[in-house]
Structure 1
């Protein structure tokens, strides 16, 4: 399939990469010769067990053999083939099954030579909660059939804007059920005409139900029908001389008309019923990077867009181009990126029936997605009229987002280079420079936590962040906390390096390169603190036999002012002031501030858990997240739960008498 390009995973192979020894190569060739001529998926692994590439083929034997029979020379494919130590294959029934399995594996295994689209965030929805007086709410997570969901939306702002519109036009409630059930007078939203006050009986169930029905139809794109219904209702009230109610309906119509006027595309008579739910995808490739911009149209309304930046575009494009012989024509990089996005993105998100694309994609891909969802999916890459306007907007968005990314990455690369030069670091590959930074956080010695954040490939790597709970020290002793976290982080690193050195009789640097990433020593270790913290770090590293020159402390400047920080070294060098406008200091401050933020958020969460006693409920067998939430909601917090009797606890949905007794015993 397609391969990608983000700095975090750009382990670009070089000529010195470890190659499979001759016996392994002979074994691989024997395995390839025994492969069947059937559709399937293949995976390549290096000597350390890392996944290099995942691909699909109509004929496994023909496709896999092509990697080993051709002379790829010093190309990217040649570098990858030289690192293959093991292969795995899975035979499937059809090419569609192979395509779906391939992209499932790509998302799961994160191969180094596949185009990767990483997006851990789920899409937000607008939820219409089932209730005699339904509530509209922002929702993110798995959807179920119990409630009605509209979306997905490209971002939280789009959901909140829609909720605000529904409040203005239909006055639907947004309050939690527990708040709704305990109100004795209308809230502020009623006073500012954003809610009809169902909590205190200021609207009948029939009238509220009519507003809910109109809101649902509006969200589904039937705007003309909704406005027509409201106009008829307004005239009926006027004929019955109920002018106040007629004026309220008139205000609803005005609110909806303003929104439709703001989004001129919704007013267009060109928007057909089929165009109510459309995804518009535009791809832009430049400077070795790529951007896919996804614009969403739901219910005929343009909800906004979101940009995605794949990893490993250049490496993956080279490999996929070599596979193009299975297609009738060569693939452009844009097509490869777009196909990778569609295959990976829509594995977890059901696509709408129509995709408007900036370039064509394989019909087999659309057929596979349709087979997965059980519905027909069509694509159009040369649209006209309204769809053309949507695509032009998406293409412009992709161009702007990619230009911004390239500008930011260029700036980050220069900061990395400036730091390497300022500290005289010996780094073979600037793109692979890895920095780990540590910070300690607590409140008067309570809930002490240490954070470790990682900077690699010119960007912060949240997936590699770690938090450490600090125990067994005197509260507020930051030096002891730093000693503990550094020992816990690097003791295993030192042990693994020693084992690798003895096994291969190699130097420390060489041993470091063959270890898994989690056990490798970084190029630089930053600690947030001055001479005291650096002395503690030096003590830990000396005890573990690690290089002291890696340790750098970030000491606050005079008056603790930002931009006056000085760098303190563990190997005896004089401390250095880089200058307030130094690119190197900007990078150090960026990493240090991220470590501080990550430590503080962890400490606050831990402190809140300790103070509220929430962990007490978590430790009770049979009390999961949902029951815990219901208990806390029903009794107003852990103290209320502790004060409740067994009978009171039984009144909570899902809590049996035996479980209520267990909860009571645990809290007393």
Structure 2
């Protein structure tokens, strides 16, 4: 079948198919996946592609022409086929599917229940820790703002369990009235549990009862002439009011829903998602799925919903701006994902329609801003290509920088920019591993980073088809750095990628940058050239990312506890050791007999701990 393409190729598969539900993949002559689709009846669906039809859009016709082979996987039900289809689309990223490109997880607020005095904190990822989860919130910033206010209102701790166990006096948060200091016994378990209950009622939407209760307590304190306590309760009520006002639109009749609205213009799409939980708006997020411009809204929003909930739990209600082609099938798939009922609605009137209208307006405005930014970015990329005589306008620019302190905590950083601006989900950090490097050897660090980066590209995408190969490298440095990088690239056999070194220039002044290229004279751009500002922004962003990564690595190393490196010493045993000896350093100095005397530390584990601190001694 490999010799045939297009309709003839597809027709050849019909005799091998039956009417089972399943998923089909169309591949080109290089075995790259062009399209992934699902079908209630595989033979009937594939038959639709086996001959020309006026119902085929130009996109579908192109896809059929490029098809050189197909793959099939049958399933028991159409719902299973839908779930499998969305997983394969996310994994394979076929060029003719609508593709959700930004698929990050959303943060929640967790009231942890793994301790007698529960901790309130931000949480991402799988919900494995014991406790109550509230969310999702649209961004880490939204969670941090809410946590900040909740600390003022409910005085719950946010310190780690190990910090809690080792406190001997209250921390600064108690002094500024953000914590009730349970770590040193300033509040008993019953009193703290009451605060936890208030916080959970508030996060569940029962804001009025919490506020009324605080107001009553303030009145009682005032009548009892306990003015300091009354003032503290007044401050908590003010903070609670501020949280409520920052929630934005708070629907009265919609307790839990995701509001999803689509706007399409000029061959681009924006999907806006509002998160409504506990009758509160917990923020919104916009997405820009990859489309060809020929899809109808139902196809786009159906693909979005399927991929969006492929790895996250859907709410009880989805409010959509456009109907789906198969809403019952999608609802059934989401019910299986949630383990409970999920309703899909396209409201036409009332509060729910107003929520969708608000999301739709935001989608329209966000897409307008995005298109304006994309046009500006396109002009800057063309200007960059013209200024440095590049063979084509770059679609992917990679910028590299290093950060360290005299060689310590060394990291390399890579940022990526393209037609849509900075692509932060493509950023990469590299922990410098080279033990033979001289401390502060920037050339050696850059060699390690680029070698690791391009060896991986050569292994994973030798034909440069995935879009992850750069069209231009920007290096922070002058002629020496450029020469060293050119030698590295030549050694790897990838000398065809243009490279520019950005040096500070005369007096190391901003605006006097010099640009170094292999085999070319040093170049400078005029002071007010937009391309100069563009390159400066890219270099500064790479520097910011490198510095941030370096600081995080250094902070982690500084705060690391040597007990964390000992197999078998978990959180409970670490607490027992610290409580018994006072510090990790004292554990390291302890005699074997003293280690055996600690509750929960077996003779075998005591020997392992002693050996860890006395190797070679």
Pick the aligned partner of 1:278 from 252, 257, 281: 257
Superposition deviation, residue 146 in structure 1: 1.8
Distance in 2 of aligned mates of 1:433 and 1:664: 56
> What is the 5 A alignment of 1:526-545?
526-541=474-489
Distance in 2 of aligned mates of 1:114 and 1:636: 59
> What is the 5 A alignment of 1:302-321?
302-311=281-290, 313-314=291-292, 318=294
Superposition deviation, residue 545 in structure 1: 6.2
Equivalent residues of 2:166, 2:578 under 8 A apart: no
Segment drifting more, 543-552 vs 410-419? 543-552
Pick the aligned partner of 1:475 from 411, 418, 439: 439
> What is the 5 A alignment of 1:162-561?
162-230=146-214, 256=240, 260=244, 266=250, 271-272=252-253, 275-311=254-290, 313-314=291-292, 318=294, 332-333=296-297, 335-361=298-324, 362-427=327-392, 430=393, 433-446=395-408, 448-461=410-423, 462-463=425-426, 465=428, 467=430, 469-483=433-447, 485-486=449-450, 514-517=463-466, 522-541=470-489, 547=495, 550-561=498-509
Distance in 2 of aligned mates of 1:597 and 1:629: 36
Distance in 2 of aligned mates of 1:150 and 1:290: 30
Equivalent residues of 1:534, 1:552 under 8 A apart: yes
Superposition deviation, residue 570 in structure 1: 1.0
Distance in 2 of aligned mates of 1:405 and 1:496: 31
- Judged with a 3 Å threshold, the aligned counterparts in structure 2 of structure 1 residues 200 and 28 are, in CA distance, closer, same or farther, namely same
Equivalent residues of 1:451, 1:598 under 8 A apart: yes
Q: TM-score, normalised by structure 1?
A: 0.77
User: Deviation digits for residues 328-358 of structure 1, max 9, x if unmatched?
Assistant: xxxx32x333222222222222222122222
Q: TM-score, normalised by structure 2?
A: 0.83
- Judged with a 3 Å threshold, the aligned counterparts in structure 2 of structure 1 residues 382 and 646 are, in CA distance, closer, same or farther, namely farther
Superposition deviation, residue 449 in structure 1: 4.6
Equivalent residues of 2:314, 2:337 under 8 A apart: no
Pick the aligned partner of 1:666 from 607, 612, 616: 612
Equivalent residues of 1:48, 1:516 under 8 A apart: no
Equivalent residues of 2:401, 2:546 under 8 A apart: yes
> What is the 5 A alignment of 1:33-52?
33-52=15-34
Segment drifting more, 233-242 vs 345-354? 233-242
- Judged with a 3 Å threshold, the aligned counterparts in structure 2 of structure 1 residues 114 and 540 are, in CA distance, closer, same or farther, namely same
Superposition deviation, residue 416 in structure 1: 0.9
Q: Report the secondary structure of 1:475's partner residue.
A: coil
Distance in 2 of aligned mates of 1:126 and 1:145: 12
Distance in 1 of aligned mates of 2:149 and 2:181: 17
- Judged with a 3 Å threshold, the aligned counterparts in structure 2 of structure 1 residues 656 and 142 are, in CA distance, closer, same or farther, namely farther
Equivalent residues of 2:6, 2:66 under 8 A apart: no
1:148 has 2:132 as partner: yes
Distance in 2 of aligned mates of 1:57 and 1:265: 40
How many aligned residue pairs are there?
Answer: 607
User: Deviation digits for residues 376-407 of structure 1, max 9, x if unmatched?
Assistant: 22233225443344333322322232222222
Structure 1: tracts of 5 or more residues without a match:
1-18, 322-331, 498-511
Structure possessing the higher relative contact order (Cα contacts under 8 Å, 6 or more residues apart): 1
- Judged with a 3 Å threshold, the aligned counterparts in structure 2 of structure 1 residues 665 and 281 are, in CA distance, closer, same or farther, namely same
Equivalent residues of 1:542, 1:548 under 8 A apart: no
- Judged with a 3 Å threshold, the aligned counterparts in structure 2 of structure 1 residues 44 and 378 are, in CA distance, closer, same or farther, namely same
The structure whose residues are more often helix, as a share, is 1
The residue that corresponds to 1:583 in the other structure is 530
Distance in 2 of aligned mates of 1:611 and 1:193: 28
Distance in 2 of aligned mates of 1:353 and 1:658: 51
Structure 2: tracts of 5 or more residues without a match:
none
The residue that corresponds to 2:48 in the other structure is 66
Distance in 1 of aligned mates of 2:355 and 2:468: 48
Superposition deviation, residue 207 in structure 1: 3.5
Distance in 1 of aligned mates of 2:577 and 2:374: 45
Superposition deviation, residue 186 in structure 1: 4.2
Equivalent residues of 1:529, 1:554 under 8 A apart: yes
Equivalent residues of 2:5, 2:66 under 8 A apart: no
- Judged with a 3 Å threshold, the aligned counterparts in structure 2 of structure 1 residues 384 and 610 are, in CA distance, closer, same or farther, namely closer
Equivalent residues of 1:20, 1:82 under 8 A apart: no
Superposition deviation, residue 55 in structure 1: 1.0
- Judged with a 3 Å threshold, the aligned counterparts in structure 2 of structure 1 residues 280 and 487 are, in CA distance, closer, same or farther, namely closer
Equivalent residues of 2:248, 2:281 under 8 A apart: no
Distance in 2 of aligned mates of 1:336 and 1:654: 59
> What is the 5 A alignment of 1:629-648?
639=585, 642-643=588-589
Equivalent residues of 2:514, 2:522 under 8 A apart: yes
Q: Report the secondary structure of 1:52's partner residue.
A: strand
